[in-house]
């Protein structure tokens, strides 16, 4: 999408200017870099979402197991009970970490998107100034 917009502006400038090709190459290079960065961040965000979902499923499964043990009045030794409680605590901590990472990834993706918009505006401004 961004590359198509860049190509449109690049091919529709009416009055060529001596500085246009080198500046366009630089702007194009920056746009490609930002595009790659955004794609990488989007992949990381998706992986984080998957990990958060898995952590939530693991936590829910551990809670179900604890509830089943409790409701069936099974006599679990204190060490095993403590192990389940520790596992739930660990899963809750892991979920919090993953949610924080996901939030951070969303913020970084937002910044990268803003950078894309700024680069497009600069390209548009340059094309208008060079006409």
Q: Which residues contact 49 (CB under 8 A, 6 or more apart)?
A: 102
Q: Of 91, 125, 123, whose CA–CA distance to 5 is shortest?
A: 123
pLDDT of residue 19 exceeding 60, the answer is no
Mean per-residue pLDDT over the chain, rounded: 79
Q: What pLDDT was estimated at residue 101?
A: 87
- State the pTM of this model: 0.42
Q: What pLDDT was estimated at residue 14?
A: 46
């Amino acid at each position: 999408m961004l590359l198509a917009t860049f190509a449109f502006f690049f091919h529709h400038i009416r009055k060529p200017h001596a500085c246009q090709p080198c500046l366009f190459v630089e702007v194009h290079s920056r746009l490609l870099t930002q595009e790659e960065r955004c794609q990488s961040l989007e992949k990381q965000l998706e992986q984080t979402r998957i990990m958060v979902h898995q952590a939530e499923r693991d936590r829910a499964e551990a809670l179900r197991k604890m509830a089943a043990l409790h409701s069936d009045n099974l006599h679990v030794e204190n060490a095993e009970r403590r192990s389940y409680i520790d596992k739930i605590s660990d899963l809750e901590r892991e979920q919090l970490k993953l949610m924080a990472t996901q939030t951070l990834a969303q913020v970084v993706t937002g910044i990268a998107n803003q950078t894309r918009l700024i680069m497009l505006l600069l390209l548009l401004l340059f094309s208008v100034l060079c006409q």
